[in-house]
C-alpha cells in the first residue's frame, strides 16, 4: 500500500488519514482510494470555446433534454478529486500501468466538516500567508 499525500495540501488531520488507511485495508475488492469533494459547479454547465463558438463541454441528454440547459437541481451530483489523500495498492495499479486500477473507493471529504487548502497557484499561497498574518 502506498499513501500519497500531496505537498500542495499540507494541512490534514491524522484521524482522517487513518480512517482512509483502515478503509482500504478492509476492502479487498478495491485497488485504490481517492478523496473527493462535491463540486461547486456542475460539469454539465461548462462550455468550451472554439473560435467564436460556445461548445458544451459534455454533450449529454437527460430525459431527452440537453443537460447544459437543465436546472442545476435536476442534474446529477458531481464530485472532484481532492489532494487530501490517495492510497493505492501497487499490485493492482502501478504494476498494471494505472494510478487507480479497476475499483476506486470513493472517500468523501466534506468541506463543511474538514477544512484543507490546495495550494496550486501563487494566489493560493498568498491567501494562505494572509490567513496566518490575521491570526
pLDDT for residue 9: 85
Residues of the chain with pLDDT under 50: none
pLDDT for residue 134: 65
pLDDT for residue 53: 95
Q: What domains, with CATH codes, occur in the chain?
A: 2-39+78-134 (3.90.550.10), 41-77 (no CATH)
Which residue, chain included where needed, has cell 488519514? Answer: 17
- For residues 100 and 93, the answer to whether their CB atoms sit within 8 Å is yes
pLDDT for residue 107: 96
**Gap between the Cα atoms of 75 and 71, Å rounded:** 7
Amino acid at each position: 500500500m502506498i499513501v500519497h499525500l500531496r505537498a500542495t495540501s499540507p494541512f490534514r488531520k491524522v484521524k482522517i488519514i487513518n480512517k482512509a488507511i483502515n478503509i482500504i485495508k478492509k476492502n479487498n475488492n478495491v485497488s485504490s482510494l481517492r478523496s473527493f469533494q462535491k463540486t461547486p459547479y456542475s460539469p454539465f454547465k461548462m462550455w468550451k470555446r472554439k473560435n467564436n463558438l460556445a461548445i458544451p463541454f459534455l454533450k449529454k441528454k437527460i430525459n431527452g433534454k440537453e443537460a447544459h440547459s437543465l436546472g442545476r437541481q435536476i442534474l446529477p451530483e458531481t464530485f472532484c478529486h481532492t489532494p487530501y489523500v490517495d492510497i493505492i495498492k501497487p499490485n493492482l495499479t502501478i504494476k498494471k500501468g494505472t494510478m487507480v486500477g479497476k475499483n476506486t473507493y470513493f472517500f468523501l471529504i466534506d468541506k463543511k466538516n474538514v477544512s484543507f487548502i490546495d495550494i496550486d497557484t501563487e494566489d493560493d499561497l498568498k491567501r494562505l500567508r494572509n490567513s496566518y498574518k490575521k491570526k
